[in-house]
Structure 1
Amino acid sequence: MTLDVARIRRDFPALEDGTAFFDGPGGTQVPRQVAEAVAATMTSGISNRGTVTAAELRAEDVVRGARAAVADLLGCDRSGVVFARSMTQATYDVARALAAEWEPGDEVVATRLDHDANIRPWVQAAERAGATVRWVGFDRATGELTVDDVRAELSDRTRLVAVTGASNVLGTRPDLPAIAEAVHAVGALLFVDGVHLTPHAPVDVPALGADLYACSPYKFLGPHHGVVVAAPALLERLHPDKLLPSSDDVPERFELGTLPYELLAGTTAAIDYLAGLASSAPDRRTRVLESMRAVEEHEEQLFGRLLEGLRGIDGVTLHGSPARRTPTAWFSVDGRSGRDVHEQLAAAGVNAPASHFYAIEASRWVGLGDSGAVRAGLAPYSNEDDVDRLLAGVAEVAR
C-alpha cells in the first residue's frame, strides 16, 4: 500500500500558504478533520462525565473513544491508557509513583540519547529516593545505542531503565525488544519514550517489551497533550497523590482534574485519520498497522533523497548515521550558526529550526554543546518538492 500524498496534503490547511514544514519532530501540522472534531466537541452540549444527562454521556463517550483509539494505535489494553497534559508531566507523575518503591542502593538507568523528558524525571526521582543513576552512552559517530551498552549498566539492583524508542534529534531506533529482554532478566521495568517513534512506524507496545510507553498526539497530527500506557496490573500497584473524592480506579487515578474532552476527541480523530491513510481494513487496529507501514515506506524513500542531497552539499556536516532510524536529519553548516541557517531557510518558506531540542545530553555528548544543530524531519504530508526546497536553501546558506 502507498500513500496518496497529494490527497493528504489537501487535508492540511497549514500547507495552503506554501510553507515546507520540516519541524514535525516538534509538532506536526493538523488535518482539518482533527480541528473539526475539536470544534464539534467544544460546541456540543458537554459536561463532566456521568450517566444521566446527554451531556454527561457525551463526555463519557469521548473519553472511552479516545482510550480505544490509543489502544488501537499502540496495540495495548485500553484500560491501561492514561491521559496527561503532556508526556513530560506523565513521566514525572509515573516517576514519583514508582520512586515510592525505591530504596537507597537501588539503581535507575538513563541514556545520553534521550530527550530530557525521559531523563530528568528519573534522575530527580532517584535522587529523592537515595537511588543511584547509571548512565548509558552511545556511539558519538554513528548515534547507535546497543543492547550491550545498556546491559553493561544493569545489575540486580536495577529498578528501572528509561530509553527512547527513537531519538528526536538523531533518529536512532534502539533495538527495544532486545533491551527489554535484558532489562527484564534483572527484574527491572522498562519505560520507553515513544514520542518520536509513534509518528513514523507501526507500534506494538507488548511486542516491544515496554512496561510503560509514552507518546504525544501532537507529534502524530493530533492536539497538544500526552499519553502513557501500561498493563493495568502495573498501574494498580502504583498509588499517586490524588484528591480524596477523585476516582481510585485505573487509569483514572492518574488523571488529575477534568480531562480535556475536546483534545481527546481530536486525538481519536487523528488516529482515525492515520488509520485511513492507506487502508480500508474492517478493524481500526489493522488499518493503523497497514497505514503506518505505508507512512514508514514513504518517509524512508523521501528521507533517502534528503540525506543524499545534504551529503552532496559542501560544508554540511550530518550528525549521526544510525542504521535504523526515523526520517530525522540533524546537521550543521560550516561557518554558520544554527540560528542563521534556521532564519535563512524560514525566509525561503522552509521551516527547519535549530536547537538541542531538549535532547541536551545527546547534544553535549556529540560535541554540539548547548547549541545543537539544524533539524529536518519528515511527516506523512512531506513531498519531494519540500525536500528539494530545503536542499536548495541549505546549498544557498552554505555558499
Structure 2
Amino acid sequence: MTTLDVAGLRAGFPSLDSGIAHFDGPGGTQTPAVVGQAIAHTLTGPLSNRGTAVLSQRNAEDAITGFRQALADLVGAEPGGIIYGRSATQLTYDLARTLAKSWSPGDEVVVSELDHDSNVRPWIQVAQAVGARVRWLRLDPATADLDLTGLDEVVTERTRVVAVTGASNLLGTRPAVARIAQRAHAVGALVHVDGVHLTAHSSVDIAALGADFYVCSPYKFFGPHCAALAADPALLESLRPDKLLPSSDAVPERFELGTLPYELMAGATAAVDVIAGIAPERDGRRERLSRAHDLIHAHELRLRSRIEGALTDLGERVVVHSRAADRTPTLFFTFTDRDAHDAADFLAARDVLAPAGTFYAHETFRALGLPVADGMRVGVAPYTDDADVDRLLTGLTDFFGD
C-alpha cells in the first residue's frame, strides 16, 4: 500500500454516515464501530474486578494488560510505564503535585506559550504553592514557533521540570522538543511532553523526543475519552504519589486511583489496532503503527495544502496563523472583517463542523496578540476526504459572498 485507503477507513466509522464533514479532530475524532464493540464486549462481560481465579477477573486483567501494551507500542514505551488516566489534564495535575513534593523555594519550572492550558496551569499552580519560580519559553508570532534563542538562559541549573507540547493543539506547530529536552537533561531537569495533539498525527518515539513523561488521549485518535501517561518504570519507582493505604504500591498501579474502567481500556486498545490495521503488511504492531502514520501524514498533508491554497485565495480577509515549518494538519485562522463564530455557524448549517474559539490555548492566543477574541480551527483527520474539503472550501467562499 502506497497511499491511505481513505474510503476503506471511512467504512469503519458509522458516524460518518451522518453526512457531517468533521474538521473538529483536534478536539476529538469520530469513533470506529470496532472500538465501540470492544467497549461493549468488555463491559457486558463476564467482568469483575481484576484477578486470575475466574474468567470475569481474567477479562479485567487482560483489558489492563492489553491497554498497557498497546499504548506502549504506540509511543515507544515499556508497558510497565503506562499509567491510565481520566484525561491528560488529570494526569498532568497528579504528576505536577507529586513532583512538587520535592521542590523548594528558588527552584524553577519552565512552561511554554505554545501549550494547551492543561500543560501550563498545573505547573504554575504547584510552583506557586511551594514558592518555585515559573519561567517561559516564548512564542514568536512571526514564525508560530517557540523562540529558543535564549534557551540556555531559561532552562538553568535551578530548573526542575520543563513542560512543553509535542504539537500545538491550536496552531499545529511541532516545536524542537528534542533540543529542549537535551538542554533540560544537561542541567538535571525532567521533561514533561503533552503529546495529545502530536500522537494523532505522527509516529512517536518518546526516547527520541527526550520525554521523561509523555501524555496522550485516545479520543484524539479514534478511541474513548481517557488518557495515558508513559514514563520509564524506574523513574516512576522513585515517585511517591498520594494514594489509599490498601491500594497497590506497585508501578504503575500506585498512580491509578480507584477501580480502573476496563471497558475504556479495551476501547483504547482497539483504537490503536485500527491505526495499526492501516498497514497490515508489517509484522509487529509497533512497525505497523509507524508505517500507518507515514500513510496518514502524506494524506493529511495533501489535504492541508489544498485548504491552505484556498485560504490564500480568499486574500486579506483571512489571516492564517499556522505557519511553522514543522506542523500537523491543523490550521488556525482569523478573519479581518467577519466573526469566526458566525463563520462556524454558517458552516454548521451546511453540516460542516469547523469550530471557533481559543481551544484552551490561552497563552498561545495571548502571545499572538490577536485583535479578535476567537478564531477558526480546521483540523484534518485520517478519515477526512476530498469531498469533505470541497464542502469546507465552498462553505467558506459562500460565507464571504453572503
Counterpart of 1:380, as a letter, is: P
Distance 1:379 1:344 in 2: 21
Tell me, which stretches of 5 or more residues in structure 1 are unaligned? none
Task: State the Cα distance separating 1:335 from its structure 2 match.
Answer: 2.1
Task: State the Cα distance separating 1:234 from its structure 2 match.
Answer: 0.9
Deviations 1:180-215 (A, max 9, x none): 111111110110000000000100111111000000
Does the 8 Å CA contact 1:97/1:240 hold for their aligned counterparts? yes
Where does residue 75 of structure 2 map in the other structure?
A: 74
Does the 8 Å CA contact 1:108/1:133 hold for their aligned counterparts? yes
Q: Give the ranges of 4+ consecutive aligned residues of structure 1 lying more than 4 Å apart after TM superposition.
A: none
Helix, strand or coil for the counterpart of 1:152? Answer: helix
Where does residue 275 of structure 1 map in the other structure?
A: 276
Deviates more, 1:273-282 or 1:317-326: 273-282
Task: State the Cα distance separating 1:177 from its structure 2 match.
Answer: 1.3
Distance 1:224 1:340 in 2: 29
Distance 2:371 2:200 in 1: 28
Distance 1:397 1:371 in 2: 20
Counterpart of 1:348, as a letter, is: R
Does the 8 Å CA contact 1:140/1:320 hold for their aligned counterparts? no
Counterpart of 1:387, as a letter, is: V
Task: State the Cα distance separating 1:110 from its structure 2 match.
Answer: 0.6
Helix, strand or coil for the counterpart of 1:198? Answer: helix
Where does residue 320 of structure 1 map in the other structure?
A: 322
Deviations 1:251-278 (A, max 9, x none): 0000000111110000000000000113
- Aligned positions of 1:120-135 closer than 5 A: 120-135=121-136
Helix, strand or coil for the counterpart of 1:103? Answer: coil
Does the 8 Å CA contact 1:146/1:174 hold for their aligned counterparts? no
Deviations 1:328-378 (A, max 9, x none): 111122322121111001001100001110001101111237833100001
Does the 8 Å CA contact 1:278/1:291 hold for their aligned counterparts? yes
Task: State the Cα distance separating 1:152 from its structure 2 match.
Answer: 3.2
Does the 8 Å CA contact 1:108/1:126 hold for their aligned counterparts? yes
Distance 1:336 1:247 in 2: 56
Deviations 1:66-90 (A, max 9, x none): 1000010011011000001100000
Tell me, which stretches of 5 or more residues in structure 2 are unaligned? none
Where does residue 54 of structure 2 map in the other structure?
A: 53
Distance 1:308 1:239 in 2: 51
Task: State the Cα distance separating 1:312 from its structure 2 match.
Answer: 0.9
Counterpart of 1:352, as a letter, is: A
From 368, 386, 389, the equivalent of 2:388 is 386
Distance 1:274 1:146 in 2: 34
Does the 8 Å CA contact 1:105/1:157 hold for their aligned counterparts? yes
CA separation of 1:329/1:395 partners in 2, compared to 1, >3 Å: closer, same or farther? same
Where does residue 231 of structure 1 map in the other structure?
A: 232
Does the 8 Å CA contact 1:334/1:398 hold for their aligned counterparts? no
TM-score, normalised by the number of residues in structure 2: 0.97
Counterpart of 2:391, as a letter, is: R
CA separation of 1:397/1:334 partners in 2, compared to 1, >3 Å: closer, same or farther? farther
Does the 8 Å CA contact 2:138/2:147 hold for their aligned counterparts? no
- Aligned positions of 1:305-344 closer than 5 A: 305-314=306-315, 315-344=317-346
Where does residue 163 of structure 1 map in the other structure?
A: 164
Distance 1:68 1:306 in 2: 37
- Aligned positions of 1:94-243 closer than 5 A: 94-243=95-244
Helix, strand or coil for the counterpart of 1:331? Answer: strand
Helix, strand or coil for the counterpart of 1:339? Answer: helix
Does the 8 Å CA contact 1:9/1:381 hold for their aligned counterparts? yes
Deviations 1:273-301 (A, max 9, x none): 00011332121111111101111111111
Distance 2:149 2:253 in 1: 37
Distance 1:267 1:86 in 2: 13
Distance 2:252 2:189 in 1: 22
Aligned residues: 399
Measured on the aligned residues, the alpha-carbon RMSD in Å equals 1.1
Helix, strand or coil for the counterpart of 1:72? Answer: helix
Does the 8 Å CA contact 2:137/2:148 hold for their aligned counterparts? no
Where does residue 264 of structure 2 map in the other structure?
A: 263
Counterpart of 2:30, as a letter, is: Q
